[in-house]
């Protein structure tokens, strides 16, 4: 196997990745991943161990009690987790991309003091409650409303397809606080405890990502204090751009790792499966297909590495985050689909790791921003679209 292009550049990074590999080998061997997938069992029980290992603290600056690693190091961990077990990468991204980065970017001093230690220790995580029945890609169309009352707010509305909501300690929840005609300018963000009175959650069955359950959430006059406001009132849409910036970078790194896993499964099968007197990988149709897939996975790594360095420099990289997310998710989708074709019945078997990657991969091209909408965002960056999209 060739050296991954998004590889460790320092001895410290190599040591961190070795720690990640040790954790994964012990906590999530292949048979345990298959068991959890079949049982629809999220890896919430592994959070504390990941916290003790310092994984979550990597992205937090030293002055806030973290380890102060750069985003390239974070991306290396995300890719390694994604390659081995997407369920571990997904919960890592919940803690880091949704929780830690949001609190660091626009949380108050008190929110940082309370939340950062809990999140870094793996004692809690946040779920992003953005999507509504009529507001997905068009996030500015959301209707959930927060109304001021004595000492805080009352929130009413409905959210849907909220991943890991039941296991989360808090929802990062956008709600309308200004006139509806203000669109994205009338939205604020709230940190809502998931056990608050007035919240009802209903699980939503789906075909993949069994270890990342999704929920329909009803909010009926949910009361929160003034300290639940996350960031500035009326600036919620702008704050969301920051959260999605990190979450898309996280997804790009994670699914690049998953694409590498799918590619390795297909390569192994092509080298070992003999038909017509030779391994099927020696037939040009299969060999060229795998060569193209190898190239696409490596290109995805290059974009992830480039984006990680831009984030580390504090550069504006909305376009690059969209590009990396598009390329990485479509690469995984296509590698998993081609892998299923190459492996044929061996990939279609219920106990095959390829079939899990194949069905799980279909979510990511529309999760956390549909790729069509992200292409519109890139076009806007090029001066070709006037629409204000995420």
Q: Which residues are catalytic?
A: 368
Instruction: Give the C-alpha separation, 193 to 386, whole Å.
Output: 37
Q: How many residues does the chain have?
A: 390
Report helix, strand or coil for 117.
helix
Instruction: Give the C-alpha separation, 144 to 381, whole Å.
Output: 29
Of 300, 297, 319, the residue nearest 310 (C-alpha)? 319
112 CB contacts (<8 Å, ≥6 apart)? 64, 103, 104
Which tokens belong to 297? 């996975």
Report helix, strand or coil for 191.
strand
273 CB contacts (<8 Å, ≥6 apart)? 279, 280, 281, 343, 346
Instruction: Give the C-alpha separation, 196 to 146, whole Å.
Output: 15
Plot region of 135 (φ>0 → left; ψ -120 to 50 → alpha; else → beta): beta
The conformation of residue 7, written as its DSSP 8-state character, comes to: -
Kindly calculate the radius of gyration of the chain based on its CA atoms and give it in whole angstroms: 21
Query: ∠364-115-200 over CA atoms, to 5°?
Result: 60
315 has which bridge partners? none
Quickly list DSSP for 58-73. GGS-GGGTS----HHH
């Amino acid at each position: 196997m060739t050296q991954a292009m998004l590889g460790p550049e320092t001895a410290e990074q190599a040591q961190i990745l070795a720690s990640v590999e040790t954790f994964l080998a012990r906590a999530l061997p292949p048979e345990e991943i298959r068991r959890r997938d079949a049982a629809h069992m999220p890896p919430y029980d592994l959070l504390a161990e990941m916290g003790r290992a310092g994984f979550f603290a990597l992205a937090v600056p030293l002055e806030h009690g973290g380890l102060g690693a750069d985003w390239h190091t974070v991306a290396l961990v995300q890719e390694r987790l994604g390659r081995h077990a997407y369920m571990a990468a997904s919960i890592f991204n919940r803690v880091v991309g949704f929780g830690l980065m949001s609190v660091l970017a626009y949380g108050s001093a008190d929110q940082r003091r309370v939340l950062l230690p809990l999140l870094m220790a793996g004692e809690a995580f946040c779920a992003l409650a953005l999507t509504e029945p009529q507001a997905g890609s068009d996030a500015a169309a959301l209707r959930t409303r927060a109304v001021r009352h004595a000492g805080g707010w009352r929130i009413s509305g409905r959210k849907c397809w909220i991943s890991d909501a039941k296991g989360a300690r808090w929802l990062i929840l956008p709600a309308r606080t200004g006139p509806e005609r203000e669109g994205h300018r009338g939205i604020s963000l709230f940190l809502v405890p998931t056990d608050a009175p007035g919240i009802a959650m209903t699980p939503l069955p789906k075909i993949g990502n069994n270890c990342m359950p999704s929920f329909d959430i009803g909010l009926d006059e949910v009361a929160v204090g003034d300290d639940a406001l996350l960031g500035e009132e009326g600036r919620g849409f702008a704050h969301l751009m920051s959260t999605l910036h990190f979450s898309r970078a996280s997804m790009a790194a994670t699914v690049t790792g998953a694409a590498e896993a799918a590619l390795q499964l297909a390569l192994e099968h092509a080298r070992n499966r003999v038909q017509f007197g030779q391994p099927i990988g020696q037939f040009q149709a299969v060999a060229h297909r795998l060569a193209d897939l190898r190239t696409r996975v490596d290109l995805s790594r290059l974009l992830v590495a480039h984006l990680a360095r831009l984030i580390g420099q504090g550069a504006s990289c909305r376009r690059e985050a969209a590009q990396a997310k598009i390329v990485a998710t479509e690469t995984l989708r296509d590698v998993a689909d081609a892998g299923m074709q190459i492996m044929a019945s061996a990939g279609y078997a219920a106990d095959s790791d390829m079939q899990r990657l194949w069905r799980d991969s279909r979510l990511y091209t529309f999760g956390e921003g549909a790729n069509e909408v992200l292409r519109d965002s890139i076009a806007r960056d090029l001066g070709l679209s006037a629409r204000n999209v995420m």
